[in-house]
Amino acid sequence: MRDGLWAHRTWKQMESLWTRFHAYAAQRGLPVSDQTATVFVHDLDAAPTTKVGYANSLANVFRKMGLPLRESEDTTRNRSGDRMAPFPYTKHL
């Protein structure tokens, strides 16, 4: 497998969230972008911690697919140094 690709199993785990995001964008005539992802995550009926997880999952898909992703300057890092809270939505939690 090429470096930077996910296993089929990982893609299947992301498929539900990605499909919901695409449907959300299409229903509203919005582009598939990090800004639309921010609005999508904000509109979800979920706990704040779940929304952060969804935002991070979507950001990972954006990165793996090579889609543009603007990360805010105040993005924090977890213990291993990875970026957290990639979408502006999570800034206000």
Express each pLDDT in 10-31 by its tens digit. 777 788 899 999 999 999 999 9
Alpha carbon distances (Å) from 22 to 9, 25, 32, 42, 91: 20, 5, 7, 15, 23
pTM above 0.85, yes or no: no
Q: Residue 13 corresponds to which tokens in the numbers above?
A: 């785990």
Total number of domains constituting the chain = 1
Phi-psi region of 4 (alpha: psi -120 to 50; beta: other; left: phi over 0): left
For residue 79, being part of any structural domain is answered with yes
For residue 3, being part of any structural domain is answered with no
Q: What is the span of the domain harbouring residue 85?
A: 8-92
For residue 1, being part of any structural domain is answered with no
For residue 54, being part of any structural domain is answered with yes
For residue 2, being part of any structural domain is answered with no
For residue 57, being part of any structural domain is answered with yes
For residue 36, being part of any structural domain is answered with yes
For residue 47, being part of any structural domain is answered with yes
pLDDT in tens, 58-76: 988 888 888 887 765 444 4
